[in-house]
Homo-oligomer: A and B are copies of this chain.
């Protein structure tokens, strides 16, 4: 059974206050910033435990860094992440699920798992970037 230590609470709390995916190291820095004297290894270990418990989502950045986010739903789902501001939307894609299964089955594959993540620019960031040089307009 897991003990509820101060560090563990701090990590869980930090995950509650951020709404985007954060790396273990970012969370570690954040916690140190907040005055919690917590070790990096502890952050990793806690994050792992949380991920196994299904309380947080884990995904890998293009850099190969693992990033974590407290997820709203326990069921299988995917993410739509803004490249610029990191805003994240949780999506479920029954269409993709069935597509994946169908494709896999048609090739004789079973025991399918799939990785589906969407990256893009959210409306706000697109607007910001679009009016970039006219920001002073007025």
Contact = CB atoms under 8 A, between A and B. Distances in A.
In the complex, the count of this chain's copies comes to 2
Given A66-B64, A104-B120, A83 B111 contact: yes
Interface stretch (A17-25, A33-41, A44-52, A93-101): A93-101
Contact of A107 (B64, B80, B93): B80
A115 B118 CA distance: 6
Interface in A44-95: 60, 64, 66, 80, 82-83, 89, 91, 93, 95
Interface residues of A, number: 33
A111 B83 CA distance: 9
Q: Is the interface of A mostly helix, strand, loop or mixed?
A: strand
Contacts of A107: 80, 89, 91, 122
Given A100-B118, A109-B118, 15 more contacts: A60-B64, A64-B66, A80-B109, A82-B109, A91-B103, A93-B99, A99-B99, A108-B123, A109-B122, A110-B121, A112-B119, A112-B120, A113-B118, A113-B119, A115-B116
